Amino acid sequence: MIIDIHGHYTTAPKALEDWRNRQIAGIKDPALMPKVSELKISDDELRETIETNQLKKMKERGSDLTIFSPRASFMAHHIGDFNVSSTWAAICNELCFRVSQLFPDNFIGAAMLPQSPGVDPKSCIPELEKCVREYGFVGINLNPDPSGGHWTSPPLYDRHWYPIYEKMVEHGIPAMIHVSTSCNACFHTTGAHYINADTTAFMQLIQGDLFKDFPELKFVIPHGGGAAPYHWGRYRGLAQELKKPLLKDHLLGNVFFDTCVYHQPGIDLLTRVIPVDNILFASEMIGAVKGIDPETGFNFDDTKRYIEATLNLSAEERYKVYEGNARRVYPRLDAALKNKGK
């Protein structure tokens, strides 16, 4: 079984974006604020957006199950206040839940949190609880920078984040560390802000001692871990200077990397530098990079092709990347699959 841990609902019906635009307009003029009940999206519309996009490509490329969350760039936690974020997160999570109900063999949800700059993370717990308990979601996306590129939140090792971590451990769910849209013109959203955030998150985790307080906590750093694998010697050296344990002891029991790298040399490097037990298959399909690579003639985001081509992995190691590691890092996923006999 091939499990893709990094899928976003990037193809949601246009009615969702239209409603969001009205919501944003309503921040300045409350008379324009739409009601949740005004958003009408039928099951048939959801089926069409999935069957002609994500599901079609999954069948073509040979993946079986996608952990599916709201579109990351649409989270936009810096827009409006907590009430705006809370309403928006609930709508987006419900749509992913409905997709998982319509296609139970192919999609299972991960939650967007209703984060808002300067707001206590405890405010996210009701939505987290609902998504885990009622929707059966198996993970969350945690934005380390709700300000959208200005980095006003404390680092990830700070006690500021502990309420969310406590719930993650209680429910046995990991968090993918994933920022949203950049509102800072210096940082292109997907080309700079995403990769900067991945790298920043990794360095923050080196600096702290978070996993002494939460030994069972698990994070996935997407997009191949940002700069971390490429500069692995730098980070090992920095950890040493900070009097931290070796990285393999300090972080690698709790921190994992996905395969959204989009070229063969990148995957080859990732699988040489990072222990295979810490690599999970992902494609971010129909996401940041959707085009065809003119050097290969294949889609950039067809990441299974890179895993198959790398010489660094044995058949047993490919199993770990494709399935075994996901079952271990997402224990609720493993339980759900066992219930389905998979």
For the annotated catalytic residues, the residue numbers are: 284
CA-CA distances (angstroms) from residue 178 to 197, 219, 252? Answer: 8, 10, 19
Q: Which of 137, 163, 252 is nearest to 202 (CA)?
A: 252
- At CB < 8 A and 24+ separation, what contacts does 270-277 make? 270/224, 270/225, 270/229, 271/310, 271/312, 271/313, 272/312, 273/229, 273/232, 274/225, 274/229, 274/232, 275/248, 276/313, 276/317, 276/320, 276/321, 277/252, 277/320, 277/325
Question: What is the widest separation between alpha-carbon atoms in the chain?
Answer: 60
Burial of 117 (0-12, 13-18, 19+ CB in 10 A): middle
SS3 252: coil
Sheet holding 3-9, edge to edge: 3-9, 65-70, 107-109
Distance CA 38, CA 40 (A): 6
CA-CA distances (angstroms) from residue 104 to 67, 92, 96? Answer: 11, 18, 11
Name residue 44's amino acid: D
